[in-house]
Amino acid sequence: MKNLVDQIGALYATFEKEAKAHVENGNKAAGTRARKASLELEKLMKQFRKDSIEASK
């Protein structure tokens, strides 16, 4: 589960960087990359929730 948390942290850092570039600088390509990262984050967060529930049983 630690590996999953590390992956989420790294992907969030990427999302944050790209989202800022999109919002602050109007970089359209960065917006696309931020949206892609957000979809990947969603999958990892669902996996984290599943693993967390399983670990607490």
Per residue in 27-43, pLDDT (tens digit) is: 999 999 999 999 999 99
Using H for helix, E for strand and C for coil, what is the string for 9-53? HHHHHHHHHHHHHHHHHCCHHHHHHHHHHHHHHHHHHHHHHHHHH
State the average pLDDT over residues 3-7. Answer: 96
Residue type for 55, please? A
- Look at phi and psi of residue 18 and say left if phi exceeds 0, alpha if psi is from -120 to 50, else beta: alpha
Range of the structural domain that residue 49 is part of: 2-55
Q: How many domains does the chain have?
A: 1
Residue 31 pLDDT = 97
Question: CA-to-CA distance for 40 and 13, rounded, in angstroms?
Answer: 13
Q: Whole-angstrom Cα distance, residue 27 to residue 13?
A: 17
pLDDT band at 57 (very low <50, low <70, confident <90, very high): confident
pLDDT computed for residue 20 by the predictor: 97
Q: What is the mean pLDDT of residues 13-32?
A: 97
